[in-house]
Chains A and B, each alone.
Chain A
Amino acid sequence: SAVISQKPSRDICQRGTSLTIQCQVDSQVTMMFWYRQQPGQSLTLIATANQGSEATYESGFVIDKFPISRPNLTFSTLTVSNMSPEDSSIYLCSVLRLISYNEQFFGPGTRLTVL
């Protein structure tokens, strides 16, 4: 399996500020994703992080609000910009590996609370 770490594990932020979440994988992976998980709801895909190019965003998510970087095959960041209480959620990084395409692995998540 892939070992994924996320920083920070949790944070409490003020409205209007921004937070950058880091995701580090222990091996090269083909695809990296960012999800949001809210209580009682299924995982919601925010975007696919593409190495060296702009991320691919899902409907309802835009680059200005959730800028994403992926400078190499093992690292990505998600920024939650101009936060509001509605952004309070768990943010999860996940990866797909080339050799095991059905196995999507998740990081431990970042629990964000916006006051």
Chain B
Amino acid sequence: DAKTTQPTSMDCAEGRAANLPCNHSTISGNEYVYWYRQIHSQGPQYIIHGLKNNETNEMASLIITEDRKSSTLILPHATLRDTAVYYCIVSLDRGSTLGRLYFGRGTQLTVWP
């Protein structure tokens, strides 16, 4: 699986957009980009995933560069409850991995009032 590089920590003012970057320069053509987050002392929570196109759901937007070597997770209006560790994961074609997730170190996002 391709490796990812994320900043160790970021902060964001409440109500502002939080933009979390992820580098995955060795990603291959059939690897997806997944984002999870983990609020302190809870289990990880799925946020969003994508292959080539930008994606949006009720939680966030995922912007993937045209060369697919990096992506950005956008929380459009961050709240205090969004304070968490955010993990960017790239993995093989969905059908072949049995849902295996290999977590990197992630980014600690702190939203301040």
- Decide whether A and B are members of one complex: no
Binding site for A on B (CB under 8 A): none
Binding site for B on A (CB under 8 A): none
